Amino acid sequence: MSVNSKRVFYVKYLANPIYIDILKARPDVRLDRIENESPEDFYAPILSAAHVYQIGAARDELAPHFHVDAALLKRTPNLLLVSSNGAGFDPVDVEACTDAGVLVVNQSGGNAHSVAEHALAMMLTLSKRIIQSDRRLRRESNVNRNELVGNEIEHKTVGIVGLGNVGRRIAALCKGLFGMKVLAYDPYLTAEVMAERGGEKVELDELLRRADFVSISCPLDKRSRNMISTREFGLMQPHAYFITTARGFIHDEDALLQALRDKRIAGAGLDVWSKEPPAPEHPLLQLDNVLASPHTAGVTIEARQNMGRIAAEQVLDTLDGKRPPRIINPEVWPRYAERFKQAFGVTPQ
């Protein structure tokens, strides 16, 4: 294989510089960087020659014309692989990639510990009313602590929506540290698998009715979009908390706002938003029983390094003709394999 014959590009950022270090060790791979503001005469040749697009997972951090859709795929005739920096892949039209014979992979599991810890931190902060206590102390004198009585989470019930890499880690922490009962809703897993991962399989309505904490950990797709709205918040217990470290648009923000204003639920911990980051005047940010973060659950030093490493390793394995472990659209494999052989003269295994 000639020098720099395999072309990889990214726009704006990578999870961690370790990605660059790993790819630099391969003389047959060329890595190009594009900025959101790069002129077309600069990026058009890069897109045209590229075999791999290492794409950011956050939709609002990437210029719309660099989202992977049918229009971009027309400009990347040699593209074989779209690799998300994270577990999510919001800027990628997976169906369009499948139609074009392009494989889509993510880095699922790479930040599971960080995201699960964040979810648990939100549960503790809300139940102990730490956020309200902090705000009261900063703006009032003679705060009455008896107005800030919280609750323990020991032996409470957590309902986890999505028992994948993050969800199963949340289950392990909740059970192992606090002896919590874990209910789980995941239509893609059997009751046996969910039991092995620490959760009791239930339907979504039952989970919402029984849980003291509802934690969202599933991907955003057609099935999960607006899955939690007015009806679902109405099923939750008045003392329950809603936690999400998954993706915006899985829950309806307007419905959540109304549920909080009507005191149908006790509070919410929100790491993901329909627009990221949310504006300071966002109505949910005006409520003292809302704990907010700007999609930083998986943003830790350890997680970023891990994500960068596994992303680079998965890209190189794929370019070497191996089947990657984190495929989002496995149905595209036969068509992808044909295109890979046309590009590199070998059939991927």
In this structure, are residues 139 and 296 in contact, taking their beta carbons and an 8 Å threshold?
Answer: no
Q: Which of 113, 168, 210, 295 is catalytic?
A: 295
Instruction: Note the pLDDT of residue 60.
Output: 85
141, exposed or middle or buried, with CB in 10 Å at 0-12, 13-18, 19+?
A: exposed
- What one-letter code names the amino acid at 42? F
**Residue 1 has what pLDDT?**
47
What b/e string do you get for 71-89 counting C-beta neighbours within 10 Å, with b at 16 or more? ebbeebeebbbbbbbbbbb
Condensed to tens digits (0 to 9), the pLDDT of residues 178-213 reads 999 999 999 999 999 999 999 999 999 999 999 999
Active site includes 129?
no
Residues of the chain under the 50 pLDDT cut:
1
- Chain-centroid distance of CA 152 in Å reads 28
Q: What is the pLDDT of residues 6-33, one digit of tens each?
A: 999 999 999 999 999 999 999 999 999 9
295 assigned to active site: yes
Catalytic residue among 61, 200, 206, 276: 276
pLDDT at residue 59 in the model: 81
Told to judge if 75 belongs to the known catalytic residues of this protein, a careful annotator would answer no
Instruction: Indicate the pTM of the whole model.
Output: 0.90
Long-range own/partner contacts, residues 207-210 (CB < 8 A, 24 or more apart): 207/159, 207/161, 207/183, 208/159, 208/232, 208/235, 208/236, 209/235, 209/236, 209/237, 210/157, 210/159, 210/183
Indicate which residue of 59, 169, 247, 309 is catalytic: 247
Task: Measure the N-to-C terminal CA separation of the chain; round to a whole number of Å.
Answer: 18
Residue 160 main-chain phi, psi, to 5 deg: -110, 120
Please name which of 253, 291, 324, 302 lies closest in space to residue 106, comparing C-alpha atoms.
324
State residue 346's pLDDT score. 94
Nearest Cα to 196, choosing from 205, 208, 211, 186? 186
Give me the pLDDT at residue 81, please: 98
